[in-house]
Structures are given as C-alpha cells and as structure tokens.
Structure 1
Amino acid sequence: MKTKVATAIAEGTAGDVAKTLAASVKDQLGGDKPSLVFLFASTKQPLKELVPAFGDEFKGATFLGCSTAGEFTQSGDKEGAASIFAVVGDFKIFSAIGTGLRDDVEGTITKLVSELPMEVEGYPHCTAVLLVDGLSGRGEEVTLLAAMMLGESVRLAGGAAGDDLRMKETYVACNGQVQTDAVVISKIYSKVPLGVGVAHGHSPIGGPFQVTRAEGNIVYELDGKPAWEVWLDVTREKARASGMDPETLQGGDVNKFLGVYEGGLEVGEEFKVRVPIGKVPGGAMAFACGIPESTSMHIMDSDGDRQIQSAGLAARRAKDQLGGSAPAGAVVFDCRCRKDLLGNEFSKAVTTIARELGAPIAGFEAYGEVAMNMADLSGFHNTTTVVLAFPK
C-alpha cells in the first residue's frame, strides 16, 4: 500500500478548528482512511475541547496529540493554532497513555510498555513515538526508561507538550483520552523503516566543566565556582561583540542571552543541548531539566544561520534512514527555544525541512525533544529539531 500524507493548520474555536482540519485532511486523502493522526494544539484550542470535537471524523485511526507552544506545517508557522498530520499506509499501530509521571515515572513506563506488543509478524521495523507532559520534569527519565524497556532495535521520536509559555499545565492525548502528568507511547510497526533525524545548531565555546554541585535542575557550581560566574567568563567577549553585555542584562534579555549560550553534554562526537532557563540568587543557574552532579558540561553558542542549517540536517538524516524509499511526509518535533532564537526566521527552518524532504510536514514547538537512534544523538534534547519521516 502506498503511503499518503495530509497536513493542515487552522485557527479559531475548537469546534471550528476541528471542522476545518477534518475537511482539509479528507479532501487531501481523497476518500482514503488514515491509520494514524497527530493533532498539535495551542491552549487557545484546549485539547480537552478539541479532541472530542473531532467526534468520529477519523474512526478507526490511532489519534495522538498534545498541547503546544507553537504550531506549523510546510505552509508556515503560527501561534494560537492547531496543526494536524494524517497518514494512510501499511502500518500496525499500538498506543497507550499513562498518568502519574511525577510520583512514579518507572512504574508508569513499565505499565505502558507491558500493554504494547513486542513484535508483529510481517512488520519487522518498529518506531515508538513518545509524547510527554512538558512540565513534569521527567523527560530524560521517560526517554531513557522507554528506550531500555522497548529495546535497542526500536527507534524513538517525540516531544514534550507545551502550553504557550504559560508554564502552568500541559496535556497529551491518545484515542480520546486527554491527560496531564502523563505520557503517551505509540509503537508503529512497518515493513519499511521510518526515519528519525535529529540535529541542533549549537557548537562548544568553553569547557568541559564538571558539575561539582547540583540539585535537580539547579546547577550551583562548575569546577567548584558559581555556575553563573563560569558562564559569564566564557561568554563575555562574544556576547559583547554581538551587542549583549551579560553583566548588565535584566528580565527577558537574560533569557535571550541564555538562549544563545546554552549547555552541551557530550554524546560520542556530538552534543545534547541543555537549555538554561534563568539565573538563581547566589550565582546558580536553573536548567529546563535535571543535571546530575559530576556531569561534564560544555558552554555552547549558536546563530540563526546554524539553526536553520541544522533543521535541514535533521531532515536529511531522517530521509537517509528510509531504506531507499522517498519520504511521504514527516512529523517534526521542534523546540520553542529555537523559535525564540530565530524569531520571524523560524519559518525558514520549517521551509528548509519541507524542501529537504520534498514532502508535507506538520509539527509543533515543544518543551523538549525525544530522539533515540543508535546512529545519531540519543535521548532527551533541548533547542533541537527531531524529524520523524514516513516512507512512501
């Protein structure tokens, strides 16, 4: 069976958006029934209202989704909208949703994995999609536990739900259920491999430094010195050359500075990005996810051109894994931090992905990205593009 993909994006009330998206998907698919639908929605179309509004529009399809911090398709990006990705193809899909991440992340993942089949006859390739509460603080643990329990032959892709930077509550959805403090795991079995590509546009400019004192997501010391002091020492000259003086930054300018100069953890010959989200009184720094003591950390920098180029690289990496097939389309999990870095240029990154694939795309801006692939960066990421490509 040839794979077909439809994408759409719409704004308005939940009811109007559901009607618009459903009509567009049906028109593009020409009567074919999707086997899998992804829905990514702003808080302006609350997921608890939007999911039921679709009713039986895609009866028989696996229906997955989450709340977001920005939405896009190959036609461009928006805020306050909802995007949809529907795929018709020869896939066997099994999905489950579980709650209780904050209290028992291991128990939650163990239960979900046990509910899903380990293999499907005639479909030798498996890719798992993870959608996780973006404010649970469990993204790294969810990713590593899922990878361990699913096995190294299963590629992972996904993202952490957003809430338009309100930082109050995020939601994930699976087949009519909408939950917070939750995670969705969906296993997609296929005859031809799906592609997972991951890349970011940051490069190391200082380090490595050892995290000598940390608790949760707060890093107090690097190499025995206050973390903020080390960050300033490494970045001061470059930041001033670009018009930012890190010694005098206030308010939102601090976040802009930290969006350029992020942390990097070595993974083989590359780096996982760890985004700092603020300075803490006393010289400590807060990060978007936990940083264990004894971690070796670099300080990274980036610019707009590299962010756009890295989006294209993620698409190429995904395309290269399709077993010789051309892409039919892709779901893209991109970071809200990249939108903040690129501003209006973010649409260029989206266009670059679609052009590289030569196929339609849909996705959202996340609070963290998931990619686990033996050939690439692995784990839970920040300020990174993850592309999940479906073969024709």
Structure 2
Amino acid sequence: MKTSIGTALATGPDGRVVGSDAAASALADLPSDRVDFCQVFCSIEYEYDAVLEGIREIVGSDAALIGCSTASAFTEREVAEGAVAVSLVTSDTLTFATGLGTGLRENVSRAVREAIDEFPTSVDGYPYLSAINLHDGLSSVGEELALVTQQKLGPTVSIVGGSAADDHQLEATHVFHDDTVARDAVVLALIASKERPIVSIRHGHEPLSDPVEVTHSEGSHVYELDGKPAFEVWKDAVRDRVREEFGVDVDDLEAGDQLLQRIMCEFEFGIDQGEGRYKMRWPWVEDDYHVLRFALDIPEGTVFRVMHGTPDSQIESARSAAERAVEKAESEGVAIAGAFVYDCACRGIVLGESFPTAVEGMADELEVPFVGFETYGEMCMGLGQFSGFHNTTTVIMLLPE
C-alpha cells in the first residue's frame, strides 16, 4: 500500500448522521479501515460537535483530524451547499502531525507556536515537509499568519490552506482540531512525505485600472486611494465595464445589494508582484458607502490596480491551476494519489450556478479524488510558487502516492 484518499459529501437534517454518512462513504474508497488523516469542511447549518462525533464513529479515535466551517464544499464528483465534505487518507508514504493555536488576533506568533509545539523538525525516511493552514476567516491577519507560519516551519516547507468561512454571513468562523471546535484560532497539519507534494495556484483576473495608492487606511478599512474616497475611486474604474456587462449603473446599487457584492468580487484589487503576477484582495463596502473593507489589514502605501475577472476566466483559471499541477507532477515523475483544493468564496459568487463547471474542469484535469471548500482567503507559499495570503484564487495541493 502507498497512499489512498477517499472523499465524500453528505447532507441531511442531523449533523451527527451527516458526519457519519460522509465518513462512511469516504472510507469505502480506501483499501482498508485504517485512517491516518481526516480533513473536514462543514456547513454552518450543522452543530460542529455533532458532525465531528459522527465522523469519529467511523474513522476511530487515532486518525488526526483538522477542518473548518465553510459555505459550499465539493469533491471530484459533486458540489453542494449545506453539506459536510470529508477526505480520508491512509498511507505508508506520508505521516501527519496536527496542532491547534488559539488567540490568533491577539498574537499570531504565539498562536502558530502553540499549534506547532509538538511538530517534528524532521522525520526519518520522509525528507519532504509541507503543511496545511486553516484559520479563522474573520481574523484579518492572513498575510501575517502566512509569513509567521513559514518562519516557524522553515523556507523549504510548502504551505497551503484557507480561511474558514460562514456562508457569506461574516459573523463567526470556526476551525476543528481532533474533537475541538474553536474560534479566533489556527489549525495546522504537517505532512512528511517520501516525494514532494505539488502545489499550484491561479486566479482569473486581469488589470483594469492604472495604479492607485492607499493614502488613508486603518487596519482592514481603506478610506482613501490617491487622496480620494476609496469607494468612489473603485466606482470610477469599473463604471463603464459594469454598465456594459450588467446593464446597471454602479452608482444606483446599495451596499447590501447582492448584485453589488457579485460585482465587487468580479472587480477586485490586485497588488503587483512583478512579472505580470498579482496578489488579489477582495473588497466590500459597508453602509457608509465611503470605506472599503478587506479580509486583512491594508497598510498605507499599498499600490493597487482594480482588476477584472469574468465568469469564463474564473472557470479557465481553475482548470489551469489543475493542469499546471498535473504537468509539474509529470515533469518530476511524481504519481498522485489525490488532492486538496482551497477555492475562494468570491469565485463562487462570480460564478453562481456555473461554479460546478469550474469544479468539473479541475476533475477533468486531475483525474484523482479531491476535496475542497470555498474560503475567505487562500494560503499558498511554496518553492517556485506565489507566497502569502490571497483572495479569489484556486490553490491545489497534490498528494503523492
């Protein structure tokens, strides 16, 4: 036996039953009843403790478990809202260590240090280390968290993951570690492997505006761009395209309008990383109509471009992320057992009913089992990859056999 991955989705009125059903279906894909690692993505419609109890009934108490709350989740076979998604791994070529860190907003470094306290620095016979980072999606510390995680684990450790979500409610997000459910926390899984996991990332946006500088911000709130009200600068950049594509005047849309939310996901901000690469930043507007709020702190002096990403480009970028991952695996001679996918909730808003088409594109390219969820931000730091915290991207980790 090498590495095998089983995936499943389940829905229903009873969280414990749904957790049990999802785990049992995923377990049926494995060659034995042994489970080394379990990753869970759970809708906010369920009591998380009950879901985890149902999963434990199937996988037993020895399997390392991490997970988080989400909006929709998916596997290689289907996409569903109000669901529990489970992936189970059994392996002779991978080993896992997991940990939980709390008090994330107050002290990122301390939270990461707590999470990795019992991690090995190396594992004999398993030369490659990588990590999964799942964290409170409303903490506003994503960029700092990405950097601190890399500092603590070392520059050769590839890191992927995402921010927990709550179905666009923006009220409370949770992470899971073994049988613990926590807010304001980060959960980490360290994967030691005989072959290097493959990491890929793509977004579907292109620059629309000239550069603009953040001239007044406080934490995650941006008040001015180039000395002008931030929301007005954004509207000026997108007004003609919005009228052309949506047939509406962006000035007529109210802060709580779902159409405005979709438009702001399609017309986000990008930070130039050089060589035509951009790190995406998702804004939304609140009732005062002047302040743009982001999922993490935006320091003054940050230089943005307003970006544009159509539904078609979002579908293509997901497929491209999968295609690039497969090509890299083939070039390195790495056989793939399955994948974990961290995909932004903003892409789900832009795609709407077409989101399953993007997942189907990934399935066509990967041709292995995978599980994923819609995040409030994606993490990707790896050799030859983008670094840091991202929005509106597809991040894929391929696990070697």
TM-score normalised by length of structure 1: 0.96
Alpha-carbon spacing, 1:235–1:378, altered in 2? closer, same or farther (3 Å): same
Q: Which residue is 2:188 aligned to?
A: 185
Q: Which residue is 1:362 aligned to?
A: 371
Shift of 1:262: 0.3
Q: Read off the aligned partner of 1:285 and give its amino acid letter.
A: L
CA distance in 2, matches of 1:14, 1:379: 34
Equivalent of 2:318 in 311, 319, 322: 311
CA distance in 1, matches of 2:289, 2:50: 44
Q: Read off the aligned partner of 1:339 and give its amino acid letter.
A: G
Q: Which residue is 1:86 aligned to?
A: 88
Equivalent of 2:335 in 326, 338, 341: 326
Q: Which residue is 2:237 aligned to?
A: 234
Equivalent of 1:220 in 203, 218, 223: 223
Q: Which residue is 2:267 aligned to?
A: 261
Tell me, yes or no, if the aligned pair for 1:14 and 1:53 is still in contact at 8 Å: yes
The alignment status of 1:69 with 2:68, answered yes or no, reads: no
Q: Read off the aligned partner of 2:76 and give its amino acid letter.
A: Q
The alignment status of 1:156 with 2:163, answered yes or no, reads: no
Q: Read off the aligned partner of 2:2 and give its amino acid letter.
A: K
Deviation larger for 39-48 or 124-133:
39-48
Q: Read off the aligned partner of 1:45 and give its amino acid letter.
A: Y
Which digits, 9 at most, give the CA deviation of each residue in 1:1-20, with x for residues without a partner?
42211111000111211221
Deviation larger for 182-191 or 68-77:
68-77
Runs of 4+ in 1 over 6 A off after TM superposition: none
Deviation larger for 138-147 or 187-196:
138-147
Q: Read off the aligned partner of 2:155 and give its amino acid letter.
A: E
CA distance in 2, matches of 1:260, 1:164: 18
Q: Read off the aligned partner of 1:297 and give its amino acid letter.
A: F
Which digits, 9 at most, give the CA deviation of each residue in 1:280-337, with x for residues without a partner?
6363312222111101111000111110111012213333444322322111111111
Which digits, 9 at most, give the CA deviation of each residue in 1:63-99, with x for residues without a partner?
1111111111112211101111112222121110011
Q: Read off the aligned partner of 1:284 and give its amino acid letter.
A: V
CA distance in 1, matches of 2:27, 2:114: 35
Quote the sequence identity (%): 39
Structure 1 stretches lacking a partner, 5+ long? none
Equivalent of 2:358 in 335, 349, 353: 349
Shift of 1:114: 3.6
Equivalent of 1:167 in 160, 167, 170: 170
Shift of 1:34: 2.5
Q: Which residue is 1:139 aligned to?
A: 142
Q: Which residue is 2:295 aligned to?
A: 288
Tell me, yes or no, if the aligned pair for 1:319 and 1:326 is still in contact at 8 Å: no
Q: Which residue is 2:210 aligned to?
A: 207
Which digits, 9 at most, give the CA deviation of each residue in 1:117-144, with x for residues without a partner?
1111211111110010111222222111
Structure 2 stretches lacking a partner, 5+ long? none
CA distance in 2, matches of 1:24, 1:11: 12
Q: Which residue is 1:273 aligned to?
A: 280
SS of alignment partner, residue 250 of structure 2: coil
Q: Which residue is 1:36 aligned to?
A: 37
CA distance in 1, matches of 2:11, 2:32: 24
Q: Read off the aligned partner of 2:9 and give its amino acid letter.
A: I
Q: Read off the aligned partner of 2:39 and give its amino acid letter.
A: F
Q: Read off the aligned partner of 2:306 and give its amino acid letter.
A: I
Tell me, yes or no, if the aligned pair for 2:318 and 2:359 is still in contact at 8 Å: yes
Alpha-carbon spacing, 1:206–1:191, altered in 2? closer, same or farther (3 Å): same
Tell me, yes or no, if the aligned pair for 1:195 and 1:317 is still in contact at 8 Å: no
Alpha-carbon spacing, 1:299–1:188, altered in 2? closer, same or farther (3 Å): same
Q: Read off the aligned partner of 2:301 and give its amino acid letter.
A: S
Q: Which residue is 1:391 aligned to?
A: 400
Tell me, yes or no, if the aligned pair for 2:98 and 2:116 is still in contact at 8 Å: no
Q: Read off the aligned partner of 2:17 and give its amino acid letter.
A: D
